[in-house]
Amino acid sequence: MNAPLRRAGVVILVLFGLLFANLNWVQAYKADAYRTSDHNGRVVVAQYDRPRGVIEVGGIGLAENKLTDDTLKYLRVYPKNEVYAPVVGYRPVSLGAVGIENAENDFLSGESDTLFADRVKDMFTGNNTGGGNVVLTLSTKAQEAAWKELTNNQRGVDKGAAVAIDPRTGAIQALVSMPSYNPNPLVNHDTKAAAAAYQKLLKDADQPLLNRATQETLPPGSTFKVIDSAAALSNGYREDTEIPAGSTYKESGAVIHNAEDEVCPDGTITLKEALTESCNTGYAKLGVKLGRETIVNMAKGFGFEDEKLTIGNLKENRGLPVAASRTGAIANQDGSVDKGALAQSSIGQRDVRMTPVQGALMAATVANGGKQMRPYLVQKQLGPDRRTIYNADPQVLRTPISGSVASSLSDMMVSVVENGTGKKAKIKGFTVGGKTGTAQNAVGADPHGWFIGFAYDDKGQPVSAVCVMLENVPGGHASAEAARIAGLIMKAAAGGGD
């Protein structure tokens, strides 16, 4: 009987060998994967054990922490509720994070390499000093004015967005999306309640979770004439160059009308007048004359078709993703230029689509002498002890037009606000320029109202560039309300500025 007993012993050895080998697989080979698994509650507990850095602006906390009695020690709190939500975002326990909370996660959580010394220090002192703090570029006055004016607009519009940029640096002064959402229920430590709150927002037909300023692309309407004008001025045209106009323009099956009969019914009109009055026929003919390549290239020069733009931290070029604005193909099926489509595209219709961020960037570029600054939201990164670790260093993103072209275009846009369709954007003590846009979209739907513009202070410094977009504005003159709001945002941005 001893031989089979010995073999039984060998079997036990083999079984234990298998256990040992499998333990190596689980505890050594797969250890890292398991340690960081989404299902591993320890990961979350450890993350919440250390106070997350504060997101702040002008000494006001936009994302802070509250000590709790839960297993998860710190609860994230957003004191400003929905106003800053499109920028700050939120960071829930088990869902994905968005906004600056997501883009700056490494720094806020303290896991960033730049905070390595703090972690080592913590290890020796036994303290948990927390993550780094992020200071945003926003102007609280501009942001809150934008939110207030947008949500209290005089046309009862419930969807829209506004973006304000400092043209000289690219610093975002305001970024608002309407309707917004309250991020606080989404970060509830009760993950079921958080998921329920998220599902409710997700099912809302008005899409409050959609960041309309960065992610929604809509036909820009006449604001696109700024691109046409830039193309014309860069190709030998001057402000007073007479261009063909008229009450209607038929081109390859497309028919272009003006918004009203009294707009440029004559045969010709100066370029400046055409922009001031927003002459559709003039710009449609101008676009066809300049050609598809010229218009499309100028649009690209201003940032159309850019699929990689993010607004956040200039150092690592990471932040809120911005959807690419598009000019569309403007082509027949064989690839040749569709002149009808070109005529329509030149006045921002057909397949042209633009984000509010892109609109604001265009105005900022003109105001800043042709230099487009890379937009950013993170002004400073502060360590847990509030020492400055990073301070934003503005960068030129593109230079689509020369200084003289920018100067002429600026004159033309100032004329729009002084004498033309953008009068509602005027603000006292500033020289304001801009361009309105009323964009037809679906058949039977009210048009979208746009305004892109900028303001110079009394020293001639461009203090703010802005884009306001209102979706489906009822009752005509869709852009007038956008212009009025834009003026108020720029006033707030300039007043509360540096």
Partner 1 sequence: MSRIPGMKTHRNAELGLLAFAMILVAIYAATVEANQFDTIHPTFWIPAALLLTLFVGLHFVVRFTAPYADPVLLPAVALINGLGVSFLRRLDIARAIATKKPIPGVFAGTSGRQLEWTLAALILAAVLLLIVRDHKVVSRYAYTLGLVGIVLVMLPAVLPSSLSEVNGAKLWIKLGSFSIQPGEFAKLALVSFFAYYLVRKREVLSLASRRFLGIDFPRGRDLGPVVTVWLLSLLVLVFEKDLGTALLYFGLFVVTLYVATERASWLIIGLLLFFGGVYTAYLLGAAVGGPFQNFYDRASIWLDPFAQANYNKAIGGSYQLVQGLLALGTGGLFGSGPGAGSPGLVPEVRTDFIFAGMGEEIGLFGLSALLVCYLLIVERGLRAALNVRDSFGKLVAGGLAFTLGLQVFVILGGITGLIPLTGQTTPFLSAGGSSLMANWLLIAMLLRISNAARGPANSGGHADRPGPGPKKAPTQLHGAPTEVFKP
Give the binding site for partner 1 (CB under 8 A).
1-6, 8-9, 11-13, 15-16, 18-20, 22-24, 26-28, 30-35, 37, 39-42, 45
Is 489:162 a contact under the CB 8 Å cutoff?
Answer: yes
Nearer to partner 1, 196 or 445 (CB): 196
DSSP 8-state symbol, 323: P
Nearer to partner 1, 19 or 202 (CB): 19
- Smallest distance, partner 1 to C-beta of residue 71, A: 8
Q: Give me the residues paired with residue 160 across strands.
A: 178, 470
- Smallest distance, partner 1 to C-beta of residue 18, A: 6
Nearer to partner 1, 119 or 423 (CB): 119
Nearer to partner 1, 10 or 117 (CB): 10
Which one from 109, 177, 180, 222 is the annotated catalytic residue?
222
- Smallest distance, partner 1 to C-beta of residue 116, A: 21
Nearer to partner 1, 4 or 335 (CB): 4
- Smallest distance, partner 1 to C-beta of residue 15, A: 4
What is the signed CA dihedral for 261, 262, 264, 266, rounded to 10 degrees? 90
User: 65-74 long-range contacts, Cβ below 8 Å, gap at least 24?
Assistant: 68/189, 70/189, 71/45, 72/44, 72/45, 72/48, 72/189, 73/48, 73/49, 74/48, 74/49, 74/50
Phi, psi of 457, rounded to the nearest 5 degrees = -85, -175
Indicate the SS3 state at residue 15: helix
Question: Which amino acid is present at 65?
Answer: N
Residue bearing tokens 């004015």: 145
DSSP 8-state symbol, 112: S
222 catalytic? Reply is yes
Residue 292's closest CA among 219, 360, 352, 363?
A: 352
Neighbouring residues of 402: CB distance < 8 A, sequence distance ≥ 6: 234, 370
Alpha-helical segments (H) within 28-138: 31-35, 41-47, 85-88, 99-103, 105-109, 116-125
Rounded CA separation 408/284 (Å): 20
- Smallest distance, partner 1 to C-beta of residue 25, A: 8
Q: Looking only at Cα atoms, what is the longest distance across the chain?
A: 116
What is the Rg, in whole angstroms, of the alpha carbon atoms belonging to the chain?
28
Is 461:453 a contact under the CB 8 Å cutoff?
Answer: no
Nearer to partner 1, 11 or 255 (CB): 11
Q: Give me the residues paired with residue 270 across strands.
A: 242
Rounded CA separation 399/373 (Å): 9
Is 161:356 a contact under the CB 8 Å cutoff?
Answer: yes
- Smallest distance, partner 1 to C-beta of residue 20, A: 6
Nearer to partner 1, 30 or 250 (CB): 30
- Smallest distance, partner 1 to C-beta of residue 28, A: 6
Rounded CA separation 91/94 (Å): 9
Nearer to partner 1, 1 or 205 (CB): 1
- Smallest distance, partner 1 to C-beta of residue 7, A: 8
- Smallest distance, partner 1 to C-beta of residue 48, A: 13
Q: Structure tokens of 33? A: 């994967």
Nearer to partner 1, 15 or 255 (CB): 15
> Which residues are annotated as catalytic?
222
